[in-house]
């Protein structure tokens, strides 16, 4: 993972919008988040990627594919993956996938396809976000929940990726990040500001249902209960979403890894950042069964079952 060193506290935000530390901690579970000052989305992605390559003991030239995800790219083109490829000095194909906060899970599924066809032995997957660029800093309903950062993993061909669920309920009525309207002198359609719009309560309900449903599907299909799992690594969007999903699923909350208090919601980087923290803390053992689960814009949700 890589997060920018600059942290912004809830008290810092209360100087920008009408909010307070108590509300944010109680309703969302965030105390502080990392916010980019000079770091670009591609720069953070490359930093996380280098850390992942070091951790895996793999050289950039040994990669067969780079897959990246972001909703806050520096440029529409080149893709984030192309920028990471150049920054690392890699020579393999590279492309992006857009599935908002669930995208890391979509990257894993796509990588599984390359492995299954024997087209790759080592694949780098990266989620990187400068959410601070695309939030409306006058909207207290969104600007307090997001943070910046990147997470990456080096995947190897093998049998650790056991099962996955991917669901899309398309449409922009719940979460939307419009593009800039542009400057066409002929355009007579709508011109929205290019910032995140989100119906918080609708997203909340959808998120709890999605997380519970996806975990249950993986349990049913694989004959598992939570006793068979070492960890669930969820998208860190709101502490109360994870708490509600745990309660409704009857899974002890201690099984869910949490870092939202320090990192906030980093969209596609959220799951790999949490996974890296968990791994580096020494609490993941080889052979552990874990579930990764995420939900977000699309609406798109996904979960997968892995042997670590
Ligand atoms: O990763 C993408 C997926 N996104 C998510 O998963 C987000 C899911 N949604 C949420 O996490 C929550 O809905 C929010 C954190 C966004 C909002 O929390 P909430 O408990 O659903 O609040 P609410 O929208 O129901 O608003 C309750 C009250 C309102 O005031 P009134 O109308 O009751 O007077 C809001 O104006 O809280 C107010 N409020 C705030 N107050 C202080 C909303 N934001 C804030 C704030 N500080 N930052």
Q: What is the CA(305)–ligand 1 centre distance, in A?
A: 31
Sheet of 94-97, strand order: 94-97, 65-69, 122-130, 148-156
Name the percent of the chain in helix, strand, coil, to the closest 5: 40, 20, 40
Could you tell me if the CB of 205 is within 6 A of ligand 1? Answer: no
Nearest CA to ligand 1 atom 39: 141
The segment(s) of the chain belonging to CATH 3.40.47.10 are 7-159, 163-307
**Are 7 and 32 contacting, i.e. CB atoms less than 8 angstroms apart?**
yes
Q: What is the pLDDT along the chain (308 residues), one digit of tens a residue?
A: 999 999 999 999 999 999 999 999 999 999 999 999 999 999 999 999 999 999 999 999 999 999 999 999 999 999 999 999 999 999 999 999 999 999 999 999 999 999 999 999 999 999 999 999 999 999 999 999 999 999 999 999 999 999 999 999 999 999 999 999 999 999 999 999 999 999 999 999 999 999 999 999 999 999 999 999 999 999 999 999 999 999 999 999 999 999 999 999 999 999 999 999 999 999 999 999 999 999 999 999 999 999 99
Rg (CA), the chain: 19
Could you tell me if the CB of 203 is within 6 A of ligand 1? Answer: yes
∠ CA 203-302-202 to the nearest 5 degrees? 10
Fold of the CATH domain 163-307: Peroxisomal Thiolase; Chain A, domain 1 (3.40.47)
Nearest CA to ligand 1 atom 15: 28
Could you tell me if the CB of 207 is within 6 A of ligand 1? Answer: yes
Class of domain 7-159: alpha beta
Q: What is the CA(200)–ligand 1 centre distance, in A?
A: 6
């Amino acid at each position: 993972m890589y997060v920018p060193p600059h942290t912004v506290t809830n008290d810092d935000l209360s100087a920008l919008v009408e909010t307070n530390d108590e509300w944010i901690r109680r309703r969302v579970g965030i105390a502080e988040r990392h916010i980019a000052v000079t770091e670009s989305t591609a720069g953070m992605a490359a930093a996380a990627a280098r850390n992942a390559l070091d951790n895996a003991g793999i050289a950039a030239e040994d990669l067969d594919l780079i897959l990246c995800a972001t909703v806050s790219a520096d440029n529409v083109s080149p893709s984030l993956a192309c920028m990471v490829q150049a920054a690392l000095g890699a020579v393999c194909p590279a492309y992006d996938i857009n599935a908002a906060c669930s995208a890391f899970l979509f990257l894993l599924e796509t990588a599984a396809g390359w492995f299954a066809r024997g087209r790759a032995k080592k694949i780098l997957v990266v989620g990187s976000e400068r959410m601070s660029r695309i939030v409306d800093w006058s909207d207290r309903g969104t600007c307090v929940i997001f943070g910046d950062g990147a997470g990456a993993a080096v995947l190897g061909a093998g049998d650790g990726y056991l099962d996955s669920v991917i669901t899309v309920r398309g449409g922009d009525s719940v979460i939307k990040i419009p593009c800039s309207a542009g400057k066409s002198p002929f355009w007579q359609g709508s011109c929205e500001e290019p910032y995140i719009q989100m119906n918080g309560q609708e997203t909340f309900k959808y998120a709890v249902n999605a997380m519970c449903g996806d975990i249950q599907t993986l349990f049913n299909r694989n004959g598992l209960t939570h006793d068979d799992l070492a960890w669930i690594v969820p998208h860190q969007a709101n502490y109360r979403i994870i708490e509600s999903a745990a309660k409704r699923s009857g899974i002890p909350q201690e099984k869910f890894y949490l870092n939202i208090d320090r990192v906030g919601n980093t969209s596609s980087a959220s799951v790999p950042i949490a996974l890296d923290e968990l791994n580096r803390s020494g609490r993941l053992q080889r052979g552990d069964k874990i579930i990764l689960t995420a939900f977000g814009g699309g609406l798109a949700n996904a979960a997968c079952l892995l042997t670590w």
